[in-house]
Amino acid sequence: MTAEPLFGRLALIGFGLIGGSIARAARMRGVVGEIVATARSAKTRARVMELGIVDRVVDTNAEATDGADLVILCVPVGACGSVAQQIAPHLKRGAIVSDVGSVKGAVVRDIAPHLPAEVHFVPAHPVAGTEHSGPDSGFAELFINRWCILTPPDGTDAAAVDRLRAFWTAIGARVEIMTPKHHDLVLAITSHLPHLIAYTIVGTADELGEVTSSEVMKFSAGGFRDFTRIAASDPTMWRDVFLTNKDAVLEMLGTFNEDLSKLTRAMRRGDGEALFEHFTRTRAIRRGIVEIGQDSAAPDFGRLQTDVQKT
């Protein structure tokens, strides 16, 4: 619980997994004085009202923006430009405008031109999520111990960056600052390429003639099911990510394809030593991730044995 709210009024534009988690966390920690939320559809807005975790739900992006000290766009990357255009005339002098988009180069390019000079634009990306989406999917703990990357353009007011850093820190995250370009490369390998590959292999498995979908599902515990979780993520969000971070993803994909060819050649030639050496090397990075608290050390992610029938 912070002593005094960091911002008087927070406006959340879009209320899905990320917007909903920010609202729950900010309220739980008392980080802002008031939360105003909106979403595109009347259905989502009605649901947010029902959930009772924000102070006001309004019908338009413009209304949400009026008088807000911090405005966070929590919509798919491809929608950021048009939302920025809508809110621009309503932004309060000195307000901070931010977002949570998974791509930063394109988002900065789409948002920045619309904003008036007297507001501060500090783009952000919390590297945290689940495969679920919508207003019910959020939870207050989502950002705890996860990193939030800020990519302020050159010349951004340092005090505004510090205030946004304080906001993310207050809801549990650790903050790092980098350029949009570097962000997009880092995320291409740590998030976007893994999703592309997962979407691909799940599609492949679904189309095979010799092995049925029912067999794929039954015997998925051998590794495949891990990929299906990722490939169950929101299609709109991921379409936008691949359309807007194409160059970095293609670059990483090029290296991945070369590496896959190398391992395939080793397998084809029966080169057990090369396979063994590669499979040994890859263990270190897992150990590192567990050590720095970015994943659970429990076997199998500590998957809930909810379906275990103890007799």
Ligand X SMILES: NC(=O)c1ccc[n+]([C@@H]2O[C@H](COP(=O)([O-])OP(=O)(O)OC[C@H]3O[C@@H](n4cnc5c(N)ncnc54)[C@H](OP(=O)(O)O)[C@@H]3O)[C@@H](O)[C@H]2O)c1
Interface residues toward ligand X, by CB under 6 A = 14-19, 39-41, 44, 74-77, 79, 83, 100-102, 125-126, 129, 133-134, 234, 237
Instruction: Note whether 161 binds its own copies by CB under 8 A.
Output: no
Size of the site for its own copies (CB under 8 A): 117
Minimum distance, C-beta of residue 233 to ligand X, in the bound complex (Å)? 7
The pair of three-digit structure tokens given for residue 119, joined into one six-digit string: 């507001």
- Show contacts with its own copies in window 135-154 (CB under 8 A): 137, 141, 144-147, 149
Instruction: Note whether 129 binds its own copies by CB under 8 A.
Output: yes
Closest CA to 51 of 67, 68, 27: 27
Give the nearer residue to its own copies in terms of CB position, either 52 or 270: 270
- Find the binder of its own copies among 4, 52, 155, 282 (CB under 8 A): 282
Q: Which distant-in-sequence residues (6+ apart) come within 8 Å of 284 by Cβ?
A: none
Measured CA to CA, the distance from residue 287 to residue 218 in angstroms comes to 30
Binding mask 5-44 for its own copies (x = CB under 8 A): ----------------------------------------
Secondary-structure percent of the chain, ordered helix, strand, coil, rounded to 5? 55, 10, 35
Residue 268 sits at φ, ψ, to 5 deg, of: -60, -40
Minimum distance, C-beta of residue 167 to its own copies, in the bound complex (Å)? 16
Give the nearer residue to ligand X in terms of CB position, either 239 or 262: 239
Minimum distance, C-beta of residue 129 to ligand X, in the bound complex (Å)? 2
Residue 13 sits at φ, ψ, to 5 deg, of: -105, 105
| CB distance 39 to 135 below 8 Å | yes
Minimum distance, C-beta of residue 13 to ligand X, in the bound complex (Å)? 7
Instruction: Note whether 3 binds its own copies by CB under 8 A.
Output: no
Give the nearer residue to its own copies in terms of CB position, either 52 or 299: 299
Instruction: Note whether 186 binds its own copies by CB under 8 A.
Output: yes
Q: Which distant-in-sequence residues (6+ apart) come within 8 Å of 308 by Cβ?
A: none
Decide which of ligand X, its own copies, none touches 16; Cβ closer than 5 to 8 Å per partner kind: ligand X
Instruction: Note whether 177 binds its own copies by CB under 8 A.
Output: no
| CB distance 205 to 262 below 8 Å | no
Minimum distance, C-beta of residue 154 to ligand X, in the bound complex (Å)? 23
Give the nearer residue to ligand X in terms of CB position, either 259 or 301: 301
10 DSSP β-pair partners: 35, 70
Minimum distance, C-beta of residue 19 to ligand X, in the bound complex (Å)? 6
Provide the sign of the torsion angle of the four alpha carbons 139, 145, 149, 155, taken in this order: positive
Instruction: Note whether 194 binds its own copies by CB under 8 A.
Output: yes
Interstrand relation of 32-38 and 7-13 (parallel, antiparallel or unpaired):
parallel
The pair of three-digit structure tokens given for residue 82, joined into one six-digit string: 């048009």
Give the nearer residue to ligand X in terms of CB position, either 32 or 57: 57
Decide which of its own copies, ligand X, none touches 201; Cβ closer than 5 to 8 Å per partner kind: its own copies
Q: Which distant-in-sequence residues (6+ apart) come within 8 Å of 205 by Cβ?
A: 211, 213, 216, 224
| CB distance 107 to 77 below 8 Å | yes
Instruction: Note whether 302 binds its own copies by CB under 8 A.
Output: yes
The pair of three-digit structure tokens given for residue 110, joined into one six-digit string: 């789409």
CA separation, residue 146 to residues 103, 141, 166, 188, 294 (Å): 17, 10, 15, 18, 7
